[in-house]
């Protein structure tokens, strides 16, 4: 007998109920919905928001970003959701929180959401071999769909090889397998037991899921992620080059010059083909959607309670030198108690993390990708460290919640990695 997960059962029930409504006039039952943790409906204290704003502004300066959008949700204390800065050096329009932007590697989490949704619906199996669904990769016969999601396929990354082409021809449409081929061409590392950051793996996973389900990746993300979570501002766009939305945060990068980068004249790359990221980094969203999404997925809110196997139950070290609290699996990073992702795509650096126990959540995007994804990650962790100390609102009790790092630690890490440089003085 074909098993339906509760999510799909509710969707099917909703369709049947809608038909009953037409035939009988009776009210339809509610379909699946996600209920987030209770959140104090108030702004975070002024002292806390001042520290948060200073952290974001420091990251903007060091990365050459002219604008940022940030959201911090502390369930026991309050929220801070705001836009800072301007669209560009030339365009002094203020940044607003309704602007859409590219969420970069957070897309990986959504791709794994689709995988687990299809597994729960008996469409695919986690241990299915990649060549079963993707042509031209027969040498990956021992690699599974779960390996692609967990980053344990051993496959390399394409990013370094194609970065220049992305920036020079942002309108180019990339076939996913061609883009993945640059990572496939690298020497593999030990599979199954070693984590490796591989954009190629998530591109292949997207192709496999399309083949298995007979639907596009955009349709699958809508079905398994954005529709159930009511993320109206979130989508995987078609491949034709376009801005990330009608009201979009501008995306920029800094031209290289001798001694550093031309920080006073960033190049605009807002209009881009989503095929540069596809199911690795192609999704666009808003800050409220992004916060709601990462909070839900960190809690595995799209799966049945107690569903097995647990998606985040067996993480691996990010690298041999990584801190013991920094691990990866399931398309996400585990940073102490936080679950989330970070990365860059042309024009944007994005990070989003949430604590599955309390619902504590931070999300941020910087509108310059030159420094890569690390500054966005460090900024999210700095914001988390600051916000974790926010006092409880009246009538609330702060939970036992701690992080294995300090705000000062990652503030300094961002400052130490400043990329803007003044051109050498003329002799």
How many residues does this entry show for the chain? 427
The DSSP-derived string for 156-182 is: --SHHHHHHHHHH-TTPPPPHHHHHHH
The string of DSSP codes covering 99-118 is: -BEE-TTHHHHHHHHHHHHH
**Complete edge-to-edge strand list for the sheet that includes strand 338-345:** 78-85, 67-74, 361-366, 348-354, 338-345, 332-335, 326-329, 316-317
End-to-end CA gap in the chain: 80
Q: Which of 186, 162, 185 is nearest to 174 (CA)?
A: 162
Bridge partners, residue 268, by sequence = 252
* pLDDT for res 31: 62
- Short-list 32, 77, 81, 110, CA closest to 277: 110
Both tokens assigned to 6: 């509760």
Handedness of CA 32, 38, 42, 44 (dihedral sign): negative
Q: Over the chain (427 residues), what is each successive 10-residue block's mean pLDDT?
A: 42 40 40 85 98 97 96 98 96 97 98 97 97 97 98 98 97 98 97 98 98 98 97 98 98 92 94 98 98 97 88 96 97 98 98 98 98 98 98 94 96 94 39
For residues 255 and 423, give the distance between their C-alpha atoms in angstroms, rounded to a whole number.
Answer: 12
Write out pLDDT tens, residues 312-335. 999 999 999 999 999 999 999 999
The answer to whether 234 and 399 are in contact (CB under 8 A) is: no
Q: Are 319 and 21 in contact (CB under 8 A)?
A: no
Residue with tokens 């990010």: 318
Arithmetic mean of pLDDT over the chain: 92
Q: What angle do CA 40, 110, 284 make, to 5 degrees?
A: 80
Q: Report d(CA 299, CA 357) in Å as an integer.
A: 7
3-state secondary structure of 398: coil
Lookup result for tokens 């928001």: 49
pLDDT at 9: 42
Cα of 369 vs its chain's centroid, Å: 15
Count of helices and strands (H, E) across the chain: 12, 14
Whole-angstrom Cα distance, residue 98 to residue 83? 9
> Which of 334, 308, 286 lies closest to 71, judged by CA?
286
| CB count in 10 Å sphere of residue 299 | 18
CA nearest neighbour of 131 among 121, 142, 147: 142
The Cα-based distances of 330 to 59, 151, 253, 404 in angstroms read 28, 8, 30, 22
Closest CA to 38 of 393, 372, 418: 393
Task: Please give the Cα distance from 177 to 195 (Å, whole number).
Answer: 21
139 vs 142: CA distance, rounded Å: 8
Q: Are 282 and 274 in contact (CB under 8 A)?
A: yes
For tokens 């000062």, what's the residue? 408
Residue 98 pLDDT = 98
Q: What is the pLDDT of residue 1?
A: 32
With a CB cutoff of 8 Å and minimum separation 6, the contacts of 387 are: 44, 48, 52, 72, 74, 77, 80, 360, 362
Give the Cα separation of 31 and 13 in Å (integer).
7
């Amino acid at each position: 007998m074909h098993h339906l997960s509760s999510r799909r059962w509710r969707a099917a029930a909703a369709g049947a109920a809608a038909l009953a409504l037409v035939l009988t006039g009776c009210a339809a039952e509610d379909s699946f919905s996600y209920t987030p943790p209770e959140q104090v409906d108030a702004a975070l204290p002024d002292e806390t928001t001042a520290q948060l704003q200073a952290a974001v502004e420091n990251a903007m300066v060091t990365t050459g970003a002219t604008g940022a959008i940030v959201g911090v949700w502390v369930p026991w204390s309050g929220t801070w959701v705001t836009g800072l800065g301007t669209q560009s050096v030339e365009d002094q329009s203020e940044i607003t929180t309704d602007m859409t932007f590219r969420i970069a590697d957070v897309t990986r989490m959504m791709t794994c959401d689709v995988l687990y949704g299809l597994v729960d619906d008996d469409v695919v199996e986690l241990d299915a071999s990649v060549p079963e669904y993707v042509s031209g990769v027969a040498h990956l016969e021992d690699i599974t769909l779960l390996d692609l999601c967990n980053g344990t396929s051993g496959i390399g990354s394409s990013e370094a090889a194609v970065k220049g082409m992305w920036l020079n021809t942002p309108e180019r449409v990339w076939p996913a397998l061609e883009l993945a081929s640059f990572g496939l061409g690298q020497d593999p590392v030990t599979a199954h037991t070693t984590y490796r950051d591989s954009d190629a793996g998530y591109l292949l996973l997207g192709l496999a899921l399309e083949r298995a389900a007979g639907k596009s990746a955009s349709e699958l993300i809508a079905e398994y992620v954005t529709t159930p979570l009511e993320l109206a501002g979130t989508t995987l766009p078609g491949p034709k080059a376009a801005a990330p939305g009608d009201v979009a945060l501008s995306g920029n990068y800094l031209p290289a010059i001798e001694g550093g980068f031309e920080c006073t004249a960033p190049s605009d790359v807002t209009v881009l083909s989503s095929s540069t990221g596809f199911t690795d980094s192609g999704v666009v969203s808003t800050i409220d959607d992004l916060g709601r999404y990462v909070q839900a997925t960190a809690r595995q809110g799209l799966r049945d309670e107690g569903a097995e196997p647990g998606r985040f139950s067996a993480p691996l070290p990010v690298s041999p030198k990584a801190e013991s609290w920094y691990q990866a699996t399931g398309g996400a990073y585990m940073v102490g108690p936080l679950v989330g992702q970070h990365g860059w795509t042309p024009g944007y650096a994005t990070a989003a993390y949430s604590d599955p126990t309390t619902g504590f959540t931070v999300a941020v995007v910087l509108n310059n990708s030159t420094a890569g994804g690390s500054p966005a990650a460090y900024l999210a962790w700095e914001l988390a460290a600051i916000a974790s100390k926010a006092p409880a609102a009246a009538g609330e009790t702060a939970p036992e919640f701690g992080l294995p790092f300090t705000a000062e630690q990652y503030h300094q890490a961002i400052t130490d990695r400043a990329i803007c440089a003044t051109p050498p003085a003329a002799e």
